[in-house]
Structure 1
Amino acid sequence: FQTSPLGSLSIPGPLYSVHVLRVGFNTPNPDGTVLADGSVTLVAGGPLTVLVDTGGPWLRPRLPDLLSARGLSLADVTHVVVTHGHSDHAGNVNLFPRATLLVGFDLSRPDGLYLPHGLSRGVPLVLHPGHLEVTPTPGHVRAHVSLLALGTSLGAVAVAGDAFERREDEEEWEALSEEPAEQRRSRRRLVASADVVVPGHGEPFRVVKEWGSGEEEEEEEEEEEEVTSGRGDEAGGGG
């Protein structure tokens, strides 16, 4: 698949708009250490206000201001979707005790009630039918998910966590993956369904559709996994 830079951190939509509040990064140091934090993305405008990933705990002093710049407070967030449980993505979930939380495959309501769903079986979790759904994207870790925002001005936007590190990450993502073959399948499914991808450690990018190149393989994978819009469990409501 081919990609191109998006050149913007916001994608408007008639109902939900997607705003990358903080672009993640991943910078190796000469001594072998890595300075990193995950992207933080807001999906807002409709009846749900969704924060996808919360950054590491070191981002905590800045997070309220990032939301405030969009006219929101911590209490306005109805749903927090954490793509996976690494500290640079899940470090601030305790700031949202009144929100519905999805951390990887764990879905809970504000009172600590955990809810059944089909993500571990490959079934999407629908947050707002026709607009927002969470799809399983295992590989980087087994319990990894991505949020699809449908119907924006640029089409479908996949907030993908570390399914994609950044645009043009082919030289690095496999070394960070628990299950590279599974992650490659997840990446292919995402680019088949998304027009824009928000990666875990870089700026958003467009997916350039090349019909007829790998299309049969993608269709076969989609049939096998049955990960398509509108076939998932529903989990609406806020905290």
Structure 2
Amino acid sequence: MYDVIVLFDGYSENTEMGSCANCSCVLLKGKDNIIVDTLTPWDGEKLQQKLWNNDINCEDIKYVVCTHGHSDHTGCNYLFSNAKLIVGFSISSRDLYFDHDFAGGKPYIINEFVKVIPTPGHTLEDVSVIVETKDRGLVAITGDLFEKEQDLSDDSLWKSVGSGHDDMQQENRNKILKQVDWIVPGHGPMFKVPDHYK
């Protein structure tokens, strides 16, 4: 089983100049070390420092999963040259790309504790990571499928940053809420799923 370590809580806010945002970045420490969503390209130094604080080097990361291809979720992928990359529905290692039927609903099994499942809605190729943990039960790292905990009661928070696939996103949100105990959303702290969603 895994330790889920949120290296950085995501955030988003509207300003006069535009939206100010960065994603949640999560280290899954266990059998195969995994990082989920790698911030913006300007965050490499602080990301490396956080990993070192957790006794992990970039070379120790076996998988990088980016929940979708937006720049605030993929920016530091370049740090992890030993890792297999899963960016939305695309799986690659160096110049080799692997076939996988995410579009048909097939999960990608990393190991017996971690799988990557298709959860389109925010984009048509979003994925979420489901991980069995030592102390929190099942945790989903969902990227922008969930913006933040507050969007459970105010759906305008996720619909306002979506890409026009609201019905699909709502369906996948419901699926996640029914099966996991905790969620790490794209732009807010980890939260416990309220019991009434089960």
TM tier, smaller: over 0.9
Letter in 1 for 2:99: P
Letter in 1 for 2:79: L
Are positions 1:89 and 2:73 aligned together? yes
Show the counterpart of 2:132: 150
Show the counterpart of 1:115: 98
Q: 2:42 aligns with which of 58, 74, 93?
A: 58
Runs of 4+ residues deviating >4 angstroms: none
Q: How does 1:206-221 map to 2 (within 5 A)?
A: 206-210=192-196
Are positions 1:168 and 2:154 aligned together? no
Q: 1:125 aligns with which of 108, 111, 125?
A: 108
Mapped partners of 2:104, 2:160: distance in 1: 25
Mapped partners of 1:57, 1:87: distance in 2: 8
Q: Identity, % of aligned pairs?
A: 35
Q: 2:21 aligns with which of 36, 47, 53?
A: 36
Name the TM-score, length of structure 1 as normaliser: 0.78
Q: 1:103 aligns with which of 79, 84, 87?
A: 87
1:176-233 alpha-carbon deviations (Å, 9 max, x no partner): 112111000110011111100000100000012227xxx7xxxxxxxxxxxxxxxxxx
Root-mean-square deviation (CA, aligned residues, Å) is: 1.3
Show the counterpart of 2:5: 19
Mapped partners of 1:121, 1:152: distance in 2: 31
Question: What displacement does 1:151 show?
Answer: 4.3
1:164-187 alpha-carbon deviations (Å, 9 max, x no partner): 010012221112112111000110
| Higher relative contact order (CA closer than 8 Å, sequence separation 6+) | 1
Query: Per residue, is there more strand in 1 or in 2?
Result: 2
1:96-126 alpha-carbon deviations (Å, 9 max, x no partner): 12100000000012x3211111211111111
Mapped partners of 1:183, 1:152: distance in 2: 29
Mapped partners of 2:17, 2:162: distance in 1: 18
Letter in 2 for 1:16: Y
Are positions 1:190 and 2:169 aligned together? no
CA contact (8 A) 2:116 2:127 kept: yes
Letter in 1 for 2:49: D
User: For structure 1, which runs of at least 5 residues remain unmatched after alignment?
Assistant: 1-14, 216-239
Mapped partners of 1:97, 1:106: distance in 2: 17
User: For structure 2, which runs of at least 5 residues remain unmatched after alignment?
Assistant: none
Greater gyration radius:
1
Letter in 2 for 1:88: D
Letter in 2 for 1:95: L
Question: What displacement does 1:158 show?
Answer: 0.1
CA contact (8 A) 2:4 2:133 kept: no
State the SS of the aligned residue for 2:150.
coil
State the SS of the aligned residue for 1:61.
helix
Mapped partners of 1:192, 1:116: distance in 2: 29
Letter in 1 for 2:7: L
Letter in 2 for 1:187: R
Name the TM-score, length of structure 2 as normaliser: 0.94
